[in-house]
Amino acid sequence: MSQFFEIHPDNPQPRLIGRAVDLLRAGEVIAYPTDSSYALGCTLGNKAGMERIRRIRQLDDRHNFTLVCRDLSEIANYARIDNSAFRLLKAYTPGPFTFIFKATHEVPRRLQHPKRKTIGIRIPDHRIARALLEMLREPLMSSTLILPGEDLPETDPWEIRDKLEHELGAVIAGGACSPEPTTVVDMTEGTPRILRQGRGHIEGID
C-alpha cells in the first residue's frame, strides 16, 4: 500500500518532502507532479525500481529513460553537451522539455538507449519536483506516467493512488497537472529536432 502525501504545490512542506526522499533512498518508486504531467521516479542506482517502472508502463528496452536534474551543472555529468546545446538549455530550462543527448560514462548502461547510447535529460519547473531534487542531491530516474493502453499521461494524484497503490512507495499529491507530456528534443545530431511535441514550445525548431 503506497503512502499518500498531500504537498502544497507552491510551498512544499520540507517534512513531507523528506519522507518522500527517505522512501526513494530506501529503494521505492514514487509518483510525483511536474510542470507537465505526473511522472514515476526512483534513484539513479535503483535497478529494481527501473524494472518496476518498466513493468508498470509495459516498456521495452528501447525506451529512453529521463534523468531529472536540479540544474545545468548537474546535467553536464551525464550528457555530452556542446556550446550551442548549452545555450539552448539555458534558454529553455527549467521547463516542460526532455532533451535527448549522447550519454556520458556516468550513466549506467541499463538507462541508455541500447543502440544509440542516449539519455533523456530534464530540469522541471515545478516546486515540488525541485524540492525533491534539492533534498535528494542527485537526479531522479524518471518516466512520464502513461499507463498501458492510454494515449495521455496521468494528471490526478487520487486516480493514480487508486490505480497504482500496490505498485508504488508513495504518491505525491501536488494538485492536478497538465494532460500534455514534455516536448522531446533530439540534440544528438547537432541540429535540434522535435521528436514529440508536448507542452513546451521552442521557436524556430520543427
The string of pLDDT tens digits covering residues 179-193 is 888 999 999 987 899
Cα–Cα nearest to 129, from 180, 175, 193: 175
All structural domains of the chain: 3-196 (3.90.870.10)
Question: How many Cβ atoms from other residues are within 10 Å of residue 115's Cβ?
Answer: 8
pLDDT at 123: 96
SS3 144: strand
Per-residue pLDDT band at 1 (split at 50, 70, 90): confident
Q: Check if the beta carbon of residue 28 is closer than 8 Å to that of residue 169.
A: yes
CA 114 vs. chain centroid, Å, equals 19
How would you class 48 by CB atoms within 10 Å of its CB: exposed for 0-12, middle for 13-18, buried for 19 or more? exposed
Considering only the C-alpha atoms of the chain, give the largest distance between any 2 of them, rounded to a whole number of Å: 46
pLDDT at 114: 67
Q: What is the mean pLDDT of residues 42-50?
A: 94
Give me the residue label for grid cell 541540429: 191
Please tell me whether the overall predicted TM-score, pTM, comes out greater than 0.85 for this model: yes
pLDDT digits (tens, 9 = 90+) for 63-122: 778 999 999 989 988 889 999 999 999 999 999 999 999 988 888 777 767 677 888 999
> C-alpha cell of 102?
549522447
Tell me the backbone φ, ψ of residue 129, rounded to 5 degrees.
-60, -40
Q: Check if the beta carbon of residue 96 is closer than 8 Å to that of residue 104.
A: no
> C-alpha cell of 113?
538507449
Q: What is the mean pLDDT of residues 130-152?
A: 94
List all residues 6 or more positions away from 21 whose beta carbon is below 8 Å from its beta carbon.
132, 135, 136
